[in-house]
Amino acid sequence: MKLISVVGARPNFMKIAPLCRELKKYPSIKNILVHTGQHYDFKMSQVFFQELEIPRPHINLNAASGSHARQTSDIMIKFEKVLLDIKPSLVVVAGDVNSTLACSVTAAKLLIPVAHIEAGLRSFDRSMPEEINRIVTDSVSDVLFTTCRDANANLLKEGIPIHKIHFTGNIMMDSLLHNLKKAGSSKILSKMGLKNHNYCLVTLHRPANVDNAKNLKSILLALGSVSSLVPVVFPIHPRTIHNINKFGLSKTAAKFPALSLCEPAGYIDFLKLTSCARLVLTDSGGIQEETTALKIPCLTLRDNTERPVTVTMGTNKLISTNPARIVPECVKILQGRPKKSRIPPKWDGKTAERICKILHEFYS
């Protein structure tokens, strides 16, 4: 059996790494790794291959950046050629980035079965491109692996037959648990002059937060105020730094000595930064889950989340996209007691094992 697994953007790498590792136990399955090239900087891509020990991709599509249509169509045209050439029995995609949508639709149109890892998540907010990617990918997938029970319910409501849905747990936790010990020896805290559980970690890259000059300025000023209470470390996504420079906001950030803007961190350093933070402020999907797994307080700068289990069971709190909420909510965490939380079922490091068993049975 020939299987193609697809990666494209940063959040895909920690989901595909455990799958590649587990698939090695199945000699009857040949796993061909395709990188779309959606993310291409060393710090957004290659560092994850090294640290997560992902095999070198067999094929890189070197997709174009730019508008969603340009990026998606370029991946589709190039991926179609790969599928016609390799003729795999199955394509495995993960998450909700443009590469996920592009490759699942291309495979489905060639009648090649698609398996989707992290199916069924819904924010019910179609202004986010990821929501469209999730809905389209799930609608063309033949095997749908979910991280939590609410995802199963969402899929059933959309008419996906029950036999296609498998609640296998959160594969990102396989990467997290596998690398926690390694992260323990990371020297990132001493390198950045940070003390254990005495800093606020920030990541922001959603268009709703960073594409508007006034909004981004208010966020930086709020982070500056937080940095007078606790040091703030902000590993910065290419979209965000590009906008800070474009809007002339680097001087605004530089006014606050305890607000450190730095380059995007690799997986191991970032895991260390998250696991030792006093609190995390983010608009990422994956980080809402990682903080829940690590029991670190998380404030999410969004109006909704496709990962409600991180709020109902985990450490996450949605504080909307209003920058005025940042300072009071951070103060509440710094002065208050931590929220009681639990780790959701099947976030246990064994998801890849469950997925591969199902994939193997599907074809034998």
Which residues are tagged catalytic? 205
* Smaller CB separation from ligand UD1, 39 or 78: 39
208 binds ligand UD1 (CB under 6 A): no
- 56 DSSP β-pair partners: none
Closest contact distance (angstroms) between CB of 44 and ligand UD1 is 3
Q: Which stretch binds ligand UD1 (CB under 6 A): 9-17, 116-124, 135-143, 177-185?
A: 9-17
78 binds ligand UD1 (CB under 6 A): no
Closest contact distance (angstroms) between CB of 65 and ligand UD1 is 4
Q: Which of 4, 6, 7, 11 binds ligand UD1 (CB under 6 A)?
A: 11
Of residues 18-77, those binding ligand UD1 (CB under 6 A): 38-41, 44-45, 65, 71
Phi, psi of 89 (to 5 degrees): -80, -20
Structure tokens, 324: 């005025």
Binding mask 116-155 for ligand UD1 (x = CB under 6 A): -------------xx-------------------------
Closest contact distance (angstroms) between CB of 39 and ligand UD1 is 4
Structural element, H or E, at residue 245: helix 238-246
Characterize the bridge pairing of strands 200-203 and 232-235.
parallel
Closest contact distance (angstroms) between CB of 240 and ligand UD1 is 9
Helices (H) and strands (E) in the chain, counts: 17, 13
User: What is the spatial distance between Cα 25 and Cα 19, in angstroms, rounded to a whole number?
Assistant: 10
* Smaller CB separation from ligand UD1, 256 or 270: 270
Q: Which of 9, 112, 172, 319 binds ligand UD1 (CB under 6 A)?
A: 9
**What does each C-alpha distance from 114 to 35, 140, 145, 359 come to in angstroms?**
16, 7, 11, 11
Sheet holding 200-203, edge to edge: 259-262, 232-235, 200-203, 279-282, 298-300, 316-318
Residue that has been written with the tokens 């998250």 in this structure: 274
205 binds ligand UD1 (CB under 6 A): yes
Q: What is the separation of C-alpha 93 from the centre of its chain, rounded to a whole number of angstroms?
A: 13
> What residue ranges bind ligand UD1 (CB under 6 A)?
9-11, 38-41, 44-45, 65, 71, 97-98, 129-130, 205, 237-239
